[in-house]
Structure 1
Amino acid sequence: MISQNTIDTVFETARVEEVIGDFVNLKRAGSNFKGLSPFSDERSPSFMVSPVKGIWKDFSTGKGGNSVKFLMEHSQFTYPEAIRYLARKYNIEIEETEQTDAEKAITDVRESMYLVSEFAKKYFHNVLLNTDEGQAIGYSYFKERGFTNETIKKFELGYSPETWDALTKEALGQGYKLEFLQSTGLTIPKEDRPFDRFKGRVMFPIQSMSGRVLGFGGRILTNDKKAAKYLNSPESELYHKSKVLYGIFQAKQSIAKQDNCFLVEGYTDVIQFNQAGIENVVASSGTALTPDQIRLVNRLTKNITVLFDGDAAGLRASIRGIDLILEEGMNVRVCTFPDGDDPDSFARKTPYEDLVKYLEENAKDFIQFKASLLMDEAKNDPIKKADLIRDMVTSISKIPDRIQREIYVQECARIMDISEQVLVSTLAQLIQKDIAEAGKKQKQEQKPFEVHRNQKPKYTGYSGGDPEDPRNGPPEDYPGEPGYPEQQQVEKIDILYHLERKVIEILLLYGDKTEVFEDVFLRNNGEGEIETVTEKKEYKVFQRIYLSLQEDEVELSNTLFRDIFTGLIAFYHQNEKFSLEQYLMRLQPEFAQEVTDILMEDEKVTLHDWEGQNIFSKGKSESISQYVTETIMSMRWFLVDKIIEELKSSIVSNPKEDNMELLMMVMDYSKLINSFSRKLGRVMSRYHT
């Protein structure tokens, strides 16, 4: 495990503009830098880097964070991988924290296996390029396939000599241990003499998303009928064939940018497509597609286009993987090539523009593809047609999004010339069956979102994803009784969201500043009237906000804001002087996006050159105390108003009860609202002039 001291050193040393400058062409814009988004195609720059704040923001996609977050988003590194990358870039020695003996043993074994695999990749590549045997056999084979030198180097293709123990002998001579050669599957143990698994084969390194070598695929070049044409590394601590995709390391950036992933079957399909100019392509390496492989792609895009060769016999079995893709909530298109062609051969003989055009024109939505494929089998047989329709509806039932399901039902009804009602009924039965099979797990997932007609659902705002998720809007059985319309609820929650976001913004930008505030006291003047008494006092802004919320016993309702607030207040209390850089360094990754959005909001002025167009924004720092007071007072007003509405609702629902005490409370709270109104009016008039 990387020590905190190393992590701190990395953050203190790394310059966000230098790190991002390795991947994005940045141009200075005032104190900031701007450039074209690396996450989308655009002509006008929407990507902003702030060296002062140590963060970046992509206004086209909404992504943002520090230098580590950029590497995680752009290069799909894990957090430790990003730290190690930056440590290497800035020549920082990585310290490891103390681990238990068991943890050390596991870490050492895995790391040793990675080192052996990396050595083997370089060895095979060197043999291919720099030995007579490698040139004559391996290199000539790749050249026959049409691969250029650049392509061979990009995928670090190699060759394993025909000698029984060439790799094993070289690795042992370099100090690598036999146990790790065996555990990675590079060497097969034998009592008298261990030998190489991949002898006499051209080699395809299989890499993780971050580029580490997990295993190998080897293709034999002789006509030995007893030997497998393709041979993969055996399952190991590093290599699990059901969890890897060939080419994901080379394709990840293009997949994210193109927002689509082409899925093929073999190594050479991937390589030939890359050489043709289409880089967003990966292969399942001849194995049946698995959920783990699909989730790898899902990290980069929601869209998959599955490419099949023209062999109709193999299509029926291959399309089973489509249901798995649908279950992950992804969008699937399918494209087939003419008879006799596969992705490799078609890409090799087709110019880039024609290849792109073919894929665009021939990629069909999965339901259209499946219908056209299976209808050929069914022909005029009504029984087969009925089975086909059930097959189609089964696929549709896998889609988690209800709106998408409904659209596909309509499309299926049109294509198959069958009643939509019949399909809906069949679909409902299948979904009910799936729910029943899911059992307790499904119920537990749904329980937090159950809404009864005698309860008011808690609407937490749009979270993205499935519209059926109650977090994405009021559910179907939203109680629509008078006085409780949907729009009012959404509006109230939005107000509170923006007020709480303002609190975080103030703490981030001005929390350590000292300002003069008016303390407001409410008291009874002896005549039954509530009056306000004010007193001026100096506070740090973070202290003022913290004390005000404590005084009112208010806790932020948004869980994300509440966690950020707690961490910020703790940071202010623990550090004599607030350093944004130090705070961001210790900020948990799950909070980084929101904090970056807030900090970079004002950078839109620089990005769009508003001042150059004589559009000037008023700085909040000119009237911080008013801005703080306005925000806190608005929150109080909102919360008291909520109490009044609850009291009124209680009175209306119990008309036969003696509600005099509740009415008096409503009147008292209304006077308090009037007091807030007067106070807020004075603050806002000063602030907004």
Structure 2
Amino acid sequence: MISKSTIDKVYESARLEEVIGDFVQLKKSGSNFKGLSPFSDERTPSFMVSPVKQIWKDFSSGKGGNVVAFLMEHEHFTYPEAIKYLARKYNIEIEETERTDEQKQEANERESMYLVSEFAQAHFSEMLWESELGKAIGMTYFKERGFTDGTIKKFGLGYCLDQWDGFTNAALDKGYKLHYLEKTGLTIVKEDANNPNNPRKFDRFKGRVMFPIHSMSGRVLGFGGRILTNDKKAAKYLNSPESDIYHKSKVLYGIYYAKQAIAKEDNCYLVEGYTDVIQFYQRGIHNVVASSGTALTPEQIRLINRLTKNITVLFDGDAAGLRASLRGIDLILEQGMNVKVCTFPEGEDPDSFAKNNDLEELSQYLQDNSKDFIQFKASLLVKEAANDPIKRADTVRDIVHSISKIPDRIQKEIYIQECAQIMNISEAVLFNTLAQISKKDIADATKKVKQEQKAFDVVKNDPVPQKVDVQYELERKIIELLLLYGKNQEKFEDLILKENEEGDLVLEPESVEARVFEKIYLDLQDDEIELTNPNFKNIYYKLIEELNQAEDFTVNTFIAELDQEMVIEISSILMEEEKYTLHNWESKDIYPKDKNIGISQLVSETILTLRCYLIKKRMETLQNSTEENTTDNSETLEEIMNYLQLNKLLNKKLNRVLS
């Protein structure tokens, strides 16, 4: 168990915008930051971060919370793992108390798989540096690639001994369960018919040099292993199989080491292999990632899209499948990103070119040879078409098809103009072709939707407008006022119910000075009002207690003590009005009212409105009872009349006209 003092230090030191900035490219938006949601596919920012409140809200998915909630949601950390991650980031020493056996058993499947993967990385690294075979085989290979000791350690490279079950036995001896070794794919388990209680176990990566694959936060998700023998039956590269923690279509090799450089340089170099990434990094270019030998996927592109809008795809000089790789460019364009392409001289790839040139030469080459995707595609396809008019027409259509993938209309038009110049063809013809492609895409999409509707026999119903839950909204507003202004000292105008000389009930104003939380608590207590929503009620009493006891109340320290469900609820309340800043109203000459203006008025009006609502509900209940009860209702009717008079007075104070 992590000590409370460590947790307190973590919350005091961690800056939400810094932590989230490692995963999402954030841009200033007034006093807040905004960015693309890391939880959904979007092109318009709906993700807000408040440095003042130290909370975040994703309006596209509804998720939100504090810094720990983000790491738990985005990286699937447990609470202790999130605290440890932040402690490492901010150089805070972790004080831990011994966990009980019961607590150890509570570690979930995913956490156990991460622990096994971390052990495997440490074991393979140890074999590389300490064992004779590791030094003779694995280290020799890495040195031949030109990797320095520092680079090998930085990327956690290792070696799996050429033994059937060397790693598996080492893991089992350390207490790791075979179940998790099998689930992560590190061990292959085969049932033995002759001995069903003792299945056969094999190391998946035996005799291979190991490349750990990290998540954006640096967790080991899986491995890539390269064989060093000339065994034609064995695959040259072998990756971990898909698991609960490793999904190769959603991972980019090197993203953990590259994320800050990508955001800083506002560009990402995309290569194919592990060694390409490592060689570039060692040479001094850090904003580079690899698709790990798999075809580029939309999920991988969106991972980069959070950090930059610009991708430069690097191809081998003699890549046989160069034309097939162009599909990846279309995928990048579909995501609304800017694409450049750079090819290396024949016989060279990113790894060899970076190895044989210094940083200045490599940087200059990338700058001089990175072409806009349309120039690259046109030059490549024109060479293939040569003097064949039919092939040339197909080439033009192919380029226009790529342009059709771009979501931005202005960019589309500019690229059409550029294509017309390069291909020496009129813009009118290209625009006409673009319109035909777009029309066909729309028709195909419509047809698909209709087929799906038919398959599921969808019955269209007119949507029923959702009724506003007035009490829910008012209780929510009370929580918001306590969170934002609970400690504020304000002047309030209290309303005292008195009888005037004519015998009528009137509300007389009386000025009082109090803290916001005291005013709300006493008003609700006087009227014997209890919050009805269980979440709000729970938060309300915790808030009142904290505001009453803590001298320096902050939202950040308050929510540190709460469970995740409450944290999400609070972030949703506090960030609700922040979503309007996403629309940039000021640019449209619309200026929303500052909430800090008239806090006392806001508090008083909220309480008064809640009173009016509850009075109305009480009157309805009494009215229903008179209809059901046919005997003497005089007392009930008198009570209704008193409530009517009080309701009239309260609404008059609120400047509302009652029908």
| TM tier, smaller | 0.5 to 0.7
Q: For the residues of structure 2 that align with 1:567 and 1:300, how far apart are their CA atoms?
A: 36
Q: What SS class does the counterpart of residue 377 from structure 1 fall into?
A: helix
Amino acid of the residue matched to residue 136 of structure 2? A
Determine the structure 2 residue equivalent to 1:588: 568
Stretches of structure 2 lacking an aligned partner (at least 5 in a row): 34-50, 57-63, 193-198, 451-477, 496-506, 522-533, 548-552, 561-565, 582-593, 606-654
Query: CA-to-partner distance for each residue in 1:288-342, whole Å, 9 max, x for gaps?
Result: 1112222222232222111111015321111111111112222211111111110
Query: 503, 511, 522: which is aligned to 1:537?
Result: 511
Q: 1:508 to 1:166 in 2, by over 3 A?
A: closer
Alignment partners' CA distance in 2, 1:94 and 1:400: 55
SS of the equivalent of 1:234 reads coil
Deviation at 1:236, TM superposition (A): 3.0
Contact 2:208 2:226 in 1 (8 A): yes
- 1:115 alignment counterpart: 115
1:160 aligns with 2:195: no
Does residue 171 of structure 2 align to residue 176 of structure 1?
no
What is the correspondence of 1:248-647 to structure 2 with a 5 Å cutoff?
Answer: 248-311=255-318, 313-439=320-446, 510-517=485-492, 535-538=509-512, 575-576=543-544, 578=547, 579-581=553-555, 582-583=557-558, 585=560, 587-588=567-568, 591=571
Q: Provide the secondary structure at the position in 2 that maps to 1:275.
A: helix
Residue in 2 that maps onto 1:18? 13
Amino acid paired to 2:286: E
Once the two structures are TM-superposed, the CA of residue 269 in structure 1 deviates from its matched residue by 0.3
Render the CA deviation track for 1:584-634: whole Å, top value 9, x for unaligned.
545539948986999xx9xxxxxxxxxxxxxxxxxx99xx8867669999x
Alpha-carbon distance, 1:425 to partner: 2.1
Query: How far is the alpha carbon of 1:264 from its aligned partner?
Result: 0.5
Distance 1:339 1:241, change over 3 A: same
* Length, aligned pairs only: 496
Question: Which residue of 1 is the match for residue 145 of structure 2?
Answer: 145
Check 1:362–1:16 CA distance in 2 against 1; reply closer, same or farther (3 A cut).
farther
Q: Residue 626 and residue 575 in structure 1: after superposition, are their counterparts in 2 closer, same or farther (change >3 A)? A: closer
Q: Within 1, Cα distance between the matches of 2:421 and 2:434?
A: 16
The CA distance in 1 between the partners of 2:448 and 2:343, in whole Å, is 38
User: Distance between the aligned counterparts of 1:277 and 1:257, measured in 2?
Assistant: 14
How far residue 441 of structure 1 moved from its aligned partner, in angstroms, is 8.6
- Offset of residue 53 of structure 1: 6.6
Change (3 A) 1:331 1:537: same
Q: Distance in 1 between matches of 2:446 and 2:351?
A: 45
Contact (CA 8 Å) 1:129, 1:135: kept in 2 or not?
Answer: yes
AA matched with 2:511: K
TM-superposed CA distance for 1:442, in Å, is: 7.4
1:124 counterpart residue number? 124
Looking at structure 2, the residues matched to 170 and 110 of structure 1 have their Cα atoms a distance apart, in angstroms, of: 21
Amino acid at match of 2:125: H
1:186 deviation in Å?
Answer: 2.1
Q: Is the 8 A contact 1:125 1:157 kept in 2?
A: yes
- The answer to whether the 8 Å contact 1:329/1:399 transfers is yes
Q: Partner of 1:189: helix, strand, or coil?
A: strand
Decide whether the 8 Å contact of 2:66 with 2:571 is kept in 1: no
SS in 2 for 1:332: strand
112 and 583 in structure 1: CA distance in 2 versus 1, 3 angstrom threshold = closer
The aligned residue for residue 205 of structure 2 is 198
8 Å CA contact 1:56–1:596 kept in 2: the answer is no
1:40–1:297 Cα change, 3 Å: closer
Partners of 1:432 and 1:265 lie apart in 2 by: 35
Secondary structure of 1:334 counterpart: strand
- 3-state DSSP of counterpart to 2:491: strand
C-alpha distance 310-631 of structure 1, shift in aligned 2 (>3 A): farther
Secondary structure in structure 1 of the residue aligned to 2:252: coil
- Distance in 2 between the 1:230 and 1:630 partners? 65
Q: CA deviation at 1:135?
A: 0.6
The residue identity in structure 1 corresponding to 2:172 is: L
TM-aligned CA distance change 1:426 to 1:91, over 3 Å: farther
Q: d(CA) in 1 for partners of 2:388 and 2:343?
A: 25
Shift of residue 206, structure 1, vs aligned partner:
1.6
Aligned letter for 1:372?
S
Q: What is the identity, as a one-letter code, of the residue corresponding to 1:148?
A: T
Q: Is the 8 A contact 1:87 1:94 kept in 2?
A: no
TM-score for the superposition, normalised by structure 2: 0.63
Equivalent-residue separation in structure 2 for 1:20 and 1:291 (angstroms): 30
Q: Tell whether the 8 Å contact from 1:516 to 1:536 is kept in structure 2 after alignment.
A: no
**Are 1:20 and 1:70, in contact at CA under 8 Å, matched by a contact in 2?**
no
Distance in structure 2 (CA, Å) of the matches to 1:427 and 1:544:
65
The secondary structure found in structure 1 opposite 2:320 is helix
Question: How far, CA to CA, are the matches of 1:504 and 1:331 in structure 2?
Answer: 44
In structure 2, the residue matched to 1:452 is none
3-state SS in 2 of match to 1:588 = helix
CA RMSD of aligned residues (A): 5.0
Task: Output the CA distance in 2 between the equivalents of 1:546 and 1:427.
Answer: 62
Displacement of 1:517 in angstroms is 4.5
Q: C-alpha distance in 1, partners of 2:70/2:180?
A: 34
Is the CA contact 1:518–1:534 (under 8 Å) kept in the aligned structure 2? no
Q: Which runs of 5+ in 1 are unaligned?
A: 1-5, 25-37, 58-63, 444-502, 521-532, 548-565, 602-619, 634-675, 677-689
Does 2:247 match 1:240? yes
Residue identity opposite 1:576 in structure 2: I
Classify the secondary structure of the residue corresponding to 1:575: helix
The separation in 1 between residues aligned to 2:27 and 2:485, in whole angstroms, is 36
Q: Do the aligned partners of residues 141 and 511 (structure 1) sit closer, same or farther apart at CA in structure 2, a change above 3 Å counting?
A: same
Q: Are residues 590 and 375 of structure 1, via their aligned partners in 2, closer, same or farther at CA, if it must alter by over 3 Å?
A: farther
Structure 2 distance, partners of 1:240, 1:41, is: 29
Q: Percent identity?
A: 58
- 1:56-75 to 2 correspondences below 5 Å: 67-68=67-68
1:515–1:625 contact (8 Å) kept in structure 2 = no
What whole-Å deviation, never above 9, does each CA across 1:561-595 have from its counterpart, x for those lacking one?
xxxxx999996676326432355545539948986
Checking the alignment, whether the CA contact within 8 Å between 1:41 and 1:257 is kept in structure 2 is no
Question: Displacement of 1:116 after TM fit?
Answer: 2.3
Alpha carbons of structure 1 residues 56 and 138: separation in structure 2 relative to 1, 3 Å: same
Query: With CA pairs under 8 Å and 6+ residues apart, which has the higher RCO, 1 or 2?
Result: 2
Q: Distance in 1 between matches of 2:177 and 2:281?
A: 36
Correspondence for 1:562 = none
The match for 1:451 is none
SS in 2 for 1:439: helix
